[in-house]
Every structure is written in structure tokens, then in C-alpha cells.
Chains A and B, each alone.
Chain A
């Protein structure tokens, strides 16, 4: 039974997405609701896998194929957690798109790509085979290329190309790393690889190659530049790219390979937190001086991803748990921020914060949602972001990396500064812009994300139980 859920989670959205342009020819409404249904199938399916997980089962599908290209899907705690977070935020984003995208061209392509993207994300998190993982990884790159260039402006298309080229370059470097592993173990199957590489760490240059892919996908320094540029995409897409899904792919694969599957050399225990720290501090600084609303939020994403990497890289259970929670909290809150920014942008027709001000009066719900999501990202209790940040710091201190932890504290301080600056510039003070509240669906979507950010903190027990179970599986305790 669980195996059927697993197949449906991936293949309903992936193959269903092809139907959407056809459905769009019949009726707009039909296509929109079909799109939402497909994403909800993934969400519901992943939800249905949870009881099995707590019962200690790990649903697995394995079909042997020639050349070690086995088709293997494994729904362990890490995978289900990622799938739940991505499909939850994804479903809200699709709902928001109903209002946002309704008056632009190429809507059929938009829904096709968004659902294909989310379906591939499901495929990526559940696949336990490097080639399958790579396959879905690249499909997400193709979809985001079309989505960033959605408005067809020349600069937009150039930026779409840039994002595509950077991530593909990283992915190909990663592929060389995968092929090295294949050469050593004769299979792309993660279970086989895990058994074969149990005691001997893979060489550092292979880790570096794979990291190239991960860092470029997660927009971590020095491959981060495509992410702020990608802000030209429609707002639901930037939310999708940044918050929920795309940048988390890199982090997820980091956890899947370097935490779960094979041991890496000890040098990475120091190197990885340093890369993460540099990324977190530099991009936080960039967020402080930018004046484009979406670019600020994008830089903030780059910065927060550094925290997640830190959690996974310190190599103890507390840090990993913190990083997993961070993925959830950041997905909800950052998705909310981008969608708020989308409402503001659509109603004021600008992204320049120096021209804004005083929007609180005309769009109160958006403003309050924005503030709530900001609190979560800053790590203000009782919002969810507090717990995740705390656990990441605790994990880092436990591993004895005091200096790195201090650096990240500075990063957290900067987060508070730039988010207040952003809120202040958009919603407080006085401004000349006339505006109105967004459409009901759009406002409802951001409100839901804001409330979820708060609830996930108040009822931290549920996500944290799940995460602890996942961590136990991952670390093999």
C-alpha cells in the first residue's frame, strides 16, 4: 500500500503536469484546480507515509535495471520530511498563483512547469539512486529556466540562462563525482554505495566536485549570484525557487550523501562550516544595502542557507535536527515573505523600497503576515524559526566550533537588522504610492503561511518528534 502512495506522490504530478496545457485549452478553472490537486496528491501521499514511519517501517521500491541504474525509491524520515515541507509550501504557492498569474500570458506553460517542478522535487527526495537523483535534479533546473524567463523580457531570459548555466555546470561537476563513485562501487544505488564505502571515506576531490553541484544549486557563495538575479521571475516562482524547494535541493542532497550515505574526510568538518559562515555573513551584508525588495529577500535566503549547512556539517544529532527544522521554518516563512512581496509589487508596480512607505494603512493583512514571517526568520520566540536557529547553534557549540558559532551570531544579528529595515521601508512611514490589498486568495495564502510559522513554533512538539525520528534513522542511532 505504502509503495503505491510512493509511486503516486511522484508520478501523479510529473505525468499530470503534461495534461495541464491541454486542460488549459478547455478551461482555465479546470487547469488551475487540476494543478492544485496534483500537488495535493503529493502532500497527502507523503502525509499517509508518516504512520508507517513511526511504526518503524521504511517503504522501499526497488527495480533492478542494467548497468546499476536501478530504480530505487526510499521513503525514510529525511525524504518524507522534505517532501512534506516542499509539497505543503508548493500547494500554498499554487493556490496563490490562481490570483497572481491570472492576467499574464503563457499561463499553461506556467502551471505545467510549476507542477513538473514540484513533481520532480518529490522524485528527487525519494530517489535512492544517484542517477535518478541527478535526473530529477536537472528537470528542476529546466523548469526553473522556463519559469525565470516567464515574462520573456530580454534581461529576464538572459538571467534565466545564467541560472541554468550555473546550476548545470555545478550539476555536471557533481556527475563526474558520481561517476567516480560508480567506478569504485559499480553501482549508482545508494544502499550498495553505502555498504561499499562504509569504512573508507571518498577522496576529497570527489567531495569537492559533488559540493560544486550542491553549492551552485543552493546558491551558496561563490555560486550565489544567480539567485538574486532570478528575482525577475513571477513572485510565486521566486517563492518556489527560494523558499520552499529549489535551494533546499542542494541542502537535502548534502544531508542525503554526506550525512546519511558515506563518510567524508575530517577536513570537511572544518571547511564546510567556514564556507557556510562566509556565505551567511557576506550575503547578509548585501541584503543590508540592496534597495530592490526581492533582491533583499533573495540575499536573505542565501544567508539563511548558510545556517542550514552549518547544522548538517557539524556532524552531531542536535545540529542535524536543527537543520531539518530550519528547512521547514525557513520554507514557510520565506515563502510568506516572497508572496507578500509579490502582493506589494503587483499593487504598487515597483520593487524599489526607497519609493515605498506607509503601506500598512492600505494593506494591513499583508503587513502583519510579513511581520510574522520576518519574526520567524529572525528567530524570535515563539515563532518556529527560534527553535530551529537555537538547535543549529547548540549543535555547533556541542561540536566545539565556538568561533564559527560567534560568526553565525553576527549573521543572525544582521538578519534582524535587514528585515526590520525592509519592513520599515515598505510598510511604515509615509509614502506617495497608492495601493490596495491583494486579491482574497493571495492574501489568504500569505496569512496561512504566517499563521503556520507561528503555529509551528507553538506546537513545536509535532515537527520536533518527527525530526527526532528522522535524525535517528539518518545517524543510525
Chain B
């Protein structure tokens, strides 16, 4: 059954291009198809039937030389992928007036989400690599889509650094294959267990983790990320920041670390160190930014730091917190990028100093941006507060008191740059020359409101969300 999550979009894209690409009128169906697909994905994750879980379809599955499986972590990732893709889709309809350009965009979006669905379902390391590449190639094209100098530059940077990551990971896969004689997660884990302490394995682990740091845009491997996020068209920034780097870099790291080398103290300390550095470097760099999207990009780096800090705690609670924060981050960061897309489209600029008091003209965008940023700063009762709290508590319980305290205090810096953003963009007196702007169209406003509702809802009903969705994630460590 899980293979359908790959096959439906795959044949969908082929059908779209064979049948529907001919006339402009028919191309509009691409939007409907993509929307239906993403809604289906969320629905499957939320209302899944246990039978769906890992029921194999013999005939169809034999089509793949790989096996898929779904666990709680996969479900959470499905919801993230679906939500962010829907946001991206609606924003594309709002900001890209050109019908045929949007058709290409929609196709690439489906391809990227297919790649990510693959990433979160595979259970061998080589298939993982294949799906990562599918996602990455779709992302290169998406970033370069406007074909301006900046977007090509952003895409090129991403391409180069991503290739470096690829090389590192492929070499690592080769080494692991030598050690364990297989690429499946379980056999590699057994192989690593068998040759504990060997420098060979250590090198393989190091290479792989480094590749993931690049993919996830963590300090000091973050050079490509602000350029790519800033240069990409608005809907692509949402996709990249919301989910692509999270699925390719962070989800994979969570999966790899927990299944291949759990309880490895050296790996955990490296992860915690990189996480803390990312939190601070990202947040401090964000303070000085004038470009709205660039600031959000640095903020992303900082928040990803929290996620892997939770992972580095090495306990079930820490991993649950990391996954929870990953989910929350996709929601609130997508919302912030949706807000920035609306502001950019209406004012024609991304420079925050040229804006001011926009809330007056855009009540919904203004209000949802407040909810999103407060959640990012970890303000109760919003979702971000709980995930950060779990991470901090997990770190404390694992004995990493200093990291825990640092993670708490870093929230002040987060608050500082977001308050500066609010002051310059939304809160305050309306700047002269902006009298004629208006709020976004209904589709985008609907998306903003839904995302904001998710943030508030998850925060208010935290105990329920925690017990049903987040806590079961701990099982990945035990297996």
C-alpha cells in the first residue's frame, strides 16, 4: 500500500503532461489534481487505517526493488509535506499570473513532494539517496524558475553544495556497504554494532552526518541557504523552508541517527554542538537583515538548530521534542513565508525598511504573522512553546544542563529579531505610499488562517496532540 504514495503522483505527472498539457484550459486541472493529492496525503496520515500501514500489494510492489514502511514519524512527515505543499500551491496561484508557467511549477511541486514522500518511507540507505536526489533536482529547477540572475545564482549555489553533500553521502554509503554487506537500515545497524569503534565506520558516520548538515543548512554549512531562500520565487521559498530542507536534511538525520547508531555519545555531542551554534549564529545573523525573506531564512537555520539539539539529547523524549518541533516549524515557518509572499506581492519589495504599519491594510496577514512569530519564539500557549519546552526538558534530564539553559535563553534573541520585523513591517503607523495595498486573495488568506489555527490548536490541545501523535514517535528509538 505505501507504494501508492509514490505511484499516484508519478503517474499523475505523466498523465498531466501527456493528456492535459495540450490546451491552456486543461492545464488548470493540474492545480486541482495537486490539491487533491496533498489533501489525500494529509487525510491518509490523519485518518489512516491500520491496514493501510504496511500492507503490501504484491504485484505493484514488485515494480520497485525496494520496500516501503510507515511508522508514526512518517505520518507526521506526511502531514507536514501535505500542509506545506498546499500552502505553496495556493501562493503560486496568487503570485504567478502566467498560466503555463504555473503548470510547470505545479508539476515540479508534485515531483518534489513525491521525492519527499519517498524519503520518509524507505528503509534502505540507497533508496533514501535516490529520493533525496529527486527532491533536490526538483528544487534546483524550482529555485531557478524565474530565470533571473539572482535565482540562477541561488540555484547554482544549492546545486554545488548539494552535490558536495551527495558525494559525501555516497562515499559513506559505499563504506557502510563494505562493512555490512547490505544497504538496508537493519543490516547496516547490525554491521555497525558488530564493528564498534572501528575508524572505518566512524569515517562513514562522519561523512554521512556532514552531508546531512549541508542538506539541512546547519552552521557552518549554511552558506547556500539564505541565498536560495531569498532568490527563489515566493511559493518555492515556502516549500524549501517549510519542508524540503527538513525532509532531506533533518528528517533523515533523525531517522539515520536513531536507527543506525543510537546512543552513540560522540555523534550526539557533535549534533548538540552544531545545533547550539546554529541556534545562535542563525538568530544573531537574523537580527541584522533588511530583506524579509533573508531574515526568515536565518531564522530557519536557528530553529533547525533546536530540532537537532533535541535529537542530540539522545533520549526518547528528546527525539519526540525534535519531531514535534520539526512539525511546528514547518507550520509556522510556512505561514511566515506565506505572509512575506503576500507582503512582497502587494508592496513590490522585500526590504523591511520600506514597509511599515501594513497590518492596517492587511488585517489577516498581520494577525497571522503575529501568531506565527510568537510560536517561533516559543511563546505559550502556541505550539512552538511546547516543542521547545520538551526539547529543553529532555536536554536537562539527559544531564546537558548548559545546552538546555542556552536553548532557553536563545529565545530572547529570536524574540528580538521578530519584534524588529513586526515593528518595521506590520506594527506601527502606515508608511506613506502604501495606502493602496490590500490583503491577499481568498485562497491565500484561507491557507494563512488554517495554518494559524493549527498553531493555536496544537498549542491549546497540547496534551491530546502529545499523547496521540508525538509520544508514539519514541518507539523508533527502541526498535
Contact = CB atoms under 8 A, between A and B. Distances in A.
Interface stretch (A146-154, A297-305, A392-400): A146-154
Interface in A15-33: none
Given A66-B463, A149-B427, A165-B412, A135 B381 contact: yes
A152 B404 contact: no
A172 B412 contact: yes
Contacts of B404: 176, 179
Contacts of B423: 154, 157-158, 161
Nearest to A179: B396
B375 to A, nearest CB: 11
Contact of A154 (B379, B412, B429, B467): B429
B415 A165 contact: yes
Interface string A134-145: 111011011000
A135 B385 CA distance: 9
Nearest to A169: B412
B148 interface: no
Contacts of B419: 161, 164-165
Contacts of B393: 67, 179, 182
Contacts of A153: 428-429
Contacts of B427: 149, 152, 157
A154 B381 CA distance: 28
B361 to A, nearest CB: 13
A93 to B, nearest CB: 23
A182 B389 CA distance: 12
A152 B357 contact: yes
A138 B107 CA distance: 44
Contacts, number: 77
Contacts of A417: none
Interface string B415-459: 110011001000111000000000000000000000000000000
Nearest to B397: A183
Interface residues of A, number: 32
Interface string A168-189: 1100110110011011000000
A175 B428 contact: no
A190 interface: no
A5 interface: no
B327 to A, nearest CB: 17
Given A66-B463, A168-B415, A134 B408 contact: no
A69 interface: yes
Contact of A168 (B317, B405, B411): B411
A71 B461 CA distance: 12
A73 to B, nearest CB: 15
Contacts of A176: 404-405, 408-409
B411 A183 contact: no
Interface string B24-59: 000000000000000000000000000000000000
A61 B393 CA distance: 25
Contacts of B317: 67
**Interface residue SS majority, chain B:** helix
Q: Which of B357, B392, B408, B467 has the most CB of A within 10 A?
A: B408
A69 B429 contact: no
Contacts of B380: 134-136, 138-139
Contacts of B408: 172, 175-176, 179
Contacts of B156: none
Contacts of A136: 380
**Interface residue SS majority, chain A:** helix
A154 B428 CA distance: 6
Contacts of B389: 131
B355 to A, nearest CB: 13
A131 B385 CA distance: 11
Interface residues of B, number: 33
B415 A142 contact: no
Contacts of A169: 409, 412
B466 interface: yes
Contacts of A131: 389
Nearest to B386: A69
A165 B462 CA distance: 26
B136 interface: no
Contacts of B411: 168, 172
Interface string A117-140: 000000000000001001110110
A343 B176 CA distance: 77
Nearest to B462: A69
Interface string A59-72: 00000011101010
Contacts of A165: 412, 415-416, 419
Nearest to B415: A168
Contacts of A183: 396-397
B409 A172 contact: yes
A69 B463 contact: yes
Contacts of A164: 415, 419
B381 A157 contact: no
Nearest to B395: A179
Nearest to A172: B408
A157 B427 CA distance: 7
Given A152-B428, A154-B429, A66 B415 contact: no
A138 B379 contact: yes
Given A66-B471, A139-B380, A179 B392 contact: yes
A161 B415 CA distance: 9
B307 interface: no
Contacts of A158: 423
A158 B428 CA distance: 10
B286 to A, nearest CB: 15
B385 to A, nearest CB: 7
B243 interface: no
Given A138-B385, A175-B408, 10 more contacts: A66-B463, A67-B317, A153-B429, A161-B419, A161-B423, A172-B408, A172-B411, A179-B392, A179-B396, A183-B397
- Which are the 10 A-B pairs with shortest beta-carbon distances? A135-B380, A161-B419, A65-B463, A138-B380, A157-B423, A169-B412, A176-B405, A152-B429, A172-B408, A157-B428
Interface of B: 317, 357, 374, 377, 379-381, 385, 389-390, 392-393, 396-397, 404-405, 408-409, 411-412, 415-416, 419-420, 423, 427-429, 462-463, 466-467, 471
23 contacts: A67-B317, A67-B390, A69-B463, A71-B463, A131-B389, A134-B380, A135-B381, A138-B385, A142-B374, A149-B427, A152-B357, A152-B427, A152-B428, A152-B429, A153-B428, A154-B428, A154-B429, A158-B423, A165-B415, A172-B408, A172-B411, A172-B412, A179-B392
